[in-house]
Amino acid sequence: MRKGFLVFLGVLLALSSFSFSAFATQQESTASPQSFLVVFKSDSSLPSNYESIIEKAGGKVTYEVSEIGTVEATTSNPTAFIKSLVKNTQVASLAPALEVSLDLPEVDASDVEQGDVAPVPADESIWEAGWQWDIERVTNQGASHEISSGSKDVVVGIIDSGIDFDHPDLKNNIVPGSKTFVPGTTDAWDFNSHGTHVAGTIGANGRIKGIAPEVGLRSYRVFGATGGAQQIWITDAIIAAANDGVDVINMSLGGTRVIGQWYYTDPATGEKIRLGNDAADMVAYNRAIRYATNKGVTVVASAGNDGQDLSNPAKLADWYNATLDASPSTAMYDVQGAAFKVPAQTPGVITVSALGGGFGTEDRLAFYSNYGNGNIDVSAPGGDLGPDYNGTRVPGDYKWLVLSAVPTYLNSPTGVAMFGTQGYGWKGGTSMASPQVAGVAAAYIAKVYEETGKKPSPSQVQTHLQQTAEDAGKNGYDPIFGHGVINAYNAVK
């Protein structure tokens, strides 16, 4: 199944004119003009002369995150820029600034038949009609809602493509303070659909239900309408969310980074140049996550949709180099060392694999999900295309995906056909699994806070979620399911 999915890595499956973005390959390419992430040796500030250091190397600072001593800079002479900075005693290392993207082709709804599924009238509950197999699975048919459905005293920061703030199932849970980190934008509205879908899984409260339907939601937008984000925007959003006092961060995003070295080969001379001892991009993520957890933030991230075994970092590095070589915009770079998915495998992050299932079928690893012994903490429903999927779409297969909110101002004809109105749609991916866990974390934190007046630490939250997960696969820890399938009812009862 995983081999079959690799054929589709560049293809996004969809059922309507909005996209099934979680099936998107999060592709990476160098920014234009040539950009680099520069990490200074101080992990909590920038040196007073950081701009002159960059300028003397032939570059220009384009973005900075002072709390973790990191800047992004552009240059028209990469060779001279790298050689200058790796000699500077205040610079720890460099890395190419790689853009994380969501590939979003669309498929007309008429291309897929509805199959043997019945529509729900516009004035009736979609939740009660049994469409949300994933939320039913995690909440024990909604039983956890009766114990703890979250509260506005607990806020989940969603680092994603934004949120539809007027969505009827979300608007009452939006708390003030949403921000955008996408240059050229002024607000955190969602024109992609990915972030709204994630928000619905965490805290929808209307025709559909989320894991924690009373929780506070705040958007930290790092993706534009077409899905592009620079890593430094993401790390900046992590810092901002932590400074804003969120309790949980959800990141349904990711890329591949390396503990080791980046190398740049000058296209004109063939000279191979090392960019420093420690890969700057990995250092920046480590610093940002540590900053957040030190402020009491529980960080949850998706394991990724590459179908890779994360327990084999050397093999992952080979795969990553092959990916870099395949694109003219990144072929001048290669890595040496152990490759990891970030932010998923960053210390301090709860890493989530994706399950298929629902409608009376057994739990199974979704065919696209990353996995790996010691690298998956817990698993959660992410959706797939049914237990018999063999690479061919069949009528009604979208019911096996995850149903959630999508922006009401984006066209979703399949959602309209099934539910009589815009604002609902299906996606599948580890992007959909991560918010299940973020929602459980929020419900648990709210329960503890209500009972004790104190909030548990990130390590306490992670330990509790792992201990209360429902064992699946082989007994005990499993490379597919981690410590088990996340279970909200067990976590809050």
Catalytic residue positions?
A: 160, 194, 431
Q: Show Cβ contacts of residue 270 under 8 Å, excluding neighbours closer than 6 positions.
A: none
Helix (H) or strand (E) holding 217: strand 216-221
157 forms bridges with which residues in the sheet? 218, 249
Cα dist. 409→172, 192, 217 in Å? Answer: 18, 11, 20
Q: Coil, helix or strand for 375?
A: coil
Four-residue CA torsion sign, 57, 60, 62, 65: positive
Compute the distance between CA of residue 16 and CA of residue 261 in angstroms, rounded to an integer: 43
In the numeric block, which tokens belong to residue 450? 């209500």
The neighbour count for residue 271, using CB atoms within 10 Å, is: 11
Phi-psi region at 237: left, alpha or beta (left = phi > 0; alpha = psi -120 to 50): alpha
Compute the distance between CA of residue 365 and CA of residue 52 in angstroms, rounded to an integer: 50
Compute the distance between CA of residue 370 and CA of residue 23 in angstroms, rounded to an integer: 13
Four-residue CA torsion sign, 384, 388, 389, 390: positive
Four-residue CA torsion sign, 72, 74, 75, 78: positive
Cα dist. 312→102, 192, 316, 322, 484 in Å? Answer: 25, 33, 6, 16, 21
Of 65, 68, 12, 62, give the one whose Cα is nearest residue 32: 62
18 contacts 104 by C-beta, under 8 angstroms: no
Compute the distance between CA of residue 251 and CA of residue 27 in angstroms, rounded to an integer: 16
Cα dist. 388→11, 209, 393, 473 in Å? Answer: 20, 28, 10, 19
The neighbour count for residue 179, using CB atoms within 10 Å, is: 17
Of 220, 134, 190, give the one whose Cα is nearest residue 440: 134
In the numeric block, which tokens belong to residue 343? 């932010």
255 contacts 100 by C-beta, under 8 angstroms: yes
In the numeric block, which tokens belong to residue 374? 């010691």
